[in-house]
């Protein structure tokens, strides 16, 4: 396993390495039979390019470090994991220690993590440098390669989506964070105020786990705190936070996701002028204070809420913003000017009622853009979006009640686009040659197309996920042709109420793994050609006539079409 982890090391002296590390099995013994420790040791050694003599010195050094554990197997395993931390360059040590903020078994969304790293000063970004996301991916990639972090990728974009740590590696992370006074974890109700006071005089980073622990942040001993992240808070924080904001004016990071403020957040938050990172995600706030306009150094601002929110026009001077997630719904009085936010890399929640889509014209660094339902003309859309050539993910929703049909030829400009979601009326799709060349995922909803879209979509060679839903297609028949969809892994057909016939030719969709069919009332039967798709692992059928179940179960007249699929599920 160690050798497998080291395959990428072209400078490895095989003879020297084998003689040192496998002659008596000592190194593997120190790993205690734990695959994680073996992988971590392999990841550590993969960075080394030495001669036989140098490998012996590395071996002796590692053995000296591990032998301090006095033959305790578990201690020796932890020493192996600790060595991987010791071998990190300084910036990656800082990245790794930031993971100590998060609770056990917590799935960390990588976008949140990257901008946290940026707010901590680990990542810098200017107009002529990589984006925060690009730099963050590079750092996370290295931690994953060293087997210090477990991460999952979005199969359509092949970018990291979330990450977490093995419990033993997390133990190393927490130990080092505490030893270096990197951060203090406050657990309510188990952590006393006196304990918090003692530790926060030394640590400038606080992770608040649960309960009403935020009331401890009002202590004067916290005045030097630089970062506060709250998890699982279950109390009304309005009064607690008012005092806390007064004492935390050096903060660079404040994450209050899922906290509760009883509708309003104190205006004192506007005094935290050093903030780079602020999350008020799902905090049940109905009004944001105008004092937020003072936070001119913000890189990350998450205001997402499912409830209507009044947002003052606070963004004019937030020119450093890289990430902005607006509330899903804003009241009628909210009118925002966003044209100065030319450094944005992520923008979600823009709509025509509260914002002007023409403000997008200068946001050429955008990688992710989500435009909510609004009233736009095809011409305004095209002129506002034409220059956004770096987009990788684009979701667009227009007024679906409108009879106006949109032309979407402008998507050709998005040459880096991987993920496209359009909820809008359009008479036709552009020709396949007018689509971005590397498009991997497309969702079409409420399009009301009368021509079968599959002959165009199946020619997009990199497509891995397709969703057609809510009357995206209103015709009778769809055909998947031989050789079409060569890389498609996921297909969703949902609420296509006029669809009667679906033909799959042999040789179509050779890589399909997941198929979901839901509420296609007039679809008579499962396609005959499904029997040819031997790659299919999961078929889910929801909201269809019970005859489908009778035909497709073992012994049914159409069972032969699905008998090769490991998982066939019916939901009513």
Q: What distance in Å separates the CA atoms of residue 230 and residue 478, rounded to the nearest whole number? A: 50
Task: Give the pLDDT score at 11.
Answer: 46
pLDDT band at 69 (very low <50, low <70, confident <90, very high): very low
Determine the 3-state secondary structure of 154 from DSSP. coil
Q: Which of 232, 172, 128 is nearest to 36 (CA)?
A: 172
238-247 average pLDDT score: 64
* CATH architecture of the domain with residue range 90-171: Orthogonal Bundle (1.10)
Lowest-confidence pick of 27-31, 66-70, 410-414, 485-489: 66-70
Contacts of 121 (CB under 8 A, 6+ apart): 252
pLDDT for the residue numbered 33: 53
**pLDDT above 90 coverage of the chain, percent:** 60
- Which of 333, 351, 358, 438 has the alpha carbon at shortest distance from 397? 351
Residue 237's pLDDT band, with cuts at 50, 70 and 90, is low
**What was the pLDDT predicted at 405?**
80
Q: How far apart are CA 110 and CA 123, in angstroms?
A: 14
More confident residue, 568 or 70: 568
466, 508 contact by CB (below 8 A): no
> Is the Cβ–Cβ distance between 457 and 429 less than 8 Å?
yes
Pairwise CA distance, residues 369 & 512, whole Å = 28
- Pairing label, strands 323-325, 346-350: parallel
Q: How far apart are CA 400 and CA 395, in angstroms?
A: 14
* Conformation bin of residue 57: beta by default, left when phi > 0, alpha when psi is -120 to 50: alpha
- Residue 44: band (very low, low, confident or very high) from pLDDT cuts 50, 70, 90: low
Region of poorest pLDDT, from 43-47, 249-253, 465-469, 540-544? 43-47
Q: What is the pLDDT of residues 284-307, one digit of tens each?
A: 889 999 999 999 999 999 999 988
pLDDT at position 449 over 50: yes
Closest CA to 347 of 380, 339, 436, 438: 339
How high is the mean pLDDT of the chain? Answer: 85
Who has greater pLDDT, 166 or 47? 166
Q: Which residues pair with 347 in a beta bridge?
A: 324, 369
CB 244 within 8 A of CB 266: no
pLDDT value of residue 38: 61
Residues 186-213, mean pLDDT to the nearest whole number: 68
Instruction: Say yes or no to pLDDT of 2 above 70.
Output: no
% of the chain with per-residue pLDDT over 70? 79
CA distance 21 to 28: 8
pTM of the model: 0.88
Of 4-8, 98-102, 320-324, the least confident: 4-8
| Residue 302: predicted pLDDT | 98
């Amino acid at each position: 396993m160690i050798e497998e982890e080291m395959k990428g090391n072209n400078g490895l002296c095989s003879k020297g390495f084998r003689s040192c590390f496998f002659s008596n099995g000592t190194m593997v013994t120190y790993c205690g039979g734990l695959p994680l420790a073996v992988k971590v040791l392999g990841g550590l050694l993969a960075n080394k390019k030495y001669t036989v003599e140098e490998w012996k010195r590395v071996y002796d050094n590692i053995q000296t470090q591990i032998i301090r554990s006095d033959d305790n197997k578990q201690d020796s395993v932890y020493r192996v994991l600790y060595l991987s931390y010791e071998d990190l360059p300084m910036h990656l040590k800082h990245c790794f220690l930031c993971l100590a903020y998060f609770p056990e078994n917590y799935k960390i969304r990588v976008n949140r993590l990257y901008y946290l790293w940026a707010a901590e000063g680990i990542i810098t970004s200017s107009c002529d440098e990589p984006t925060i996301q690009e730099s963050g991916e590079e750092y996370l990639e290295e931690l994953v390669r060293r087997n210090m972090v477990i991460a999952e990728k979005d199969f359509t974009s092949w970018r990291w989506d979330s990450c977490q740590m093995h419990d033993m590696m997390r133990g190393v992370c927490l130990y080092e964070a505490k030893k270096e006074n990197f951060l203090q974890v406050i657990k309510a109700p188990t952590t006393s105020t006196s304990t918090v006071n003692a530790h926060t005089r030394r640590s400038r980073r606080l992770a608040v786990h649960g309960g009403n622990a935020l009331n401890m942040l009002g202590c004067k001993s916290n005045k030097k705190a630089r970062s506060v992240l709250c998890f699982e808070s279950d109390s009304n924080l309005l009064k607690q936070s008012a005092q806390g904001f007064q004492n935390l004016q050096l903060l660079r990071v404040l994450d209050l996701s899922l906290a509760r403020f009883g509708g309003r957040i104190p205006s004192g938050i506007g005094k935290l002028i050093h903030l780079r990172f602020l999350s008020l995600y799902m905090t049940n706030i109905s009004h944001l204070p105008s004092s937020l306009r003072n936070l001119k150094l913000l890189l990350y601002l998450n205001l997402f809420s499912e409830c209507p929110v009044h947002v003052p026009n606070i963004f004019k001077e937030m020119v450093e913003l890289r990430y902005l997630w607006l509330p899903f719904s804003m009241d009628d009085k909210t009118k925002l000017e966003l044209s100065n936010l030319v450094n944005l890399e992520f923008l979600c929640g823009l709509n025509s009622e509260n914002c002007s889509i023409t403000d997008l014209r200068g946001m050429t660094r955008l990688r992710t853009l989500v435009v909510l339902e609004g009233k736009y003309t095809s011409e305004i859309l095209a002129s506002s979006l034409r220059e956004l050539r770096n987009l990788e993910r684009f979701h667009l929703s227009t007024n679906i009640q409108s009879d106006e049909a949109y032309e979407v030829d402008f998507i050709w400009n998005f040459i880096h686009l991987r993920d496209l979601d359009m909820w809008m009326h359009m008479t036709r799709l552009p020709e396949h040659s007018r689509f971005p060349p590397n498009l991997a995922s497309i969702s079409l909803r409420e399009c009301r197309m009368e021509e079968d879209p599959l002959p165009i979509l199946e020619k997009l060679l990199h497509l891995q996920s397709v969703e057609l839903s809510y009357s995206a297609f209103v015709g009778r028949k769809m055909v998947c042709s031989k050789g079409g969809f060569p890389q498609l892994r996921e297909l969703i057909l949902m609420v296509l109420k006029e669809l009667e016939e679906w033909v799959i030719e042999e040789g179509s969709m050779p890589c399909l793994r997941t198929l979901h069919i839901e509420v296609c009332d007039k679809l008579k039967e499962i396609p005959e050609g499904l029997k040819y798709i031997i790659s299919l692992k999961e078929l889910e059928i929801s909201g269809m006539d019970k005859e489908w179940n009778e035909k497709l179960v073992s012994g049914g007249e159409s069972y032969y079409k699905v008998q090769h699929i490991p998982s066939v599920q019916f939901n009513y």
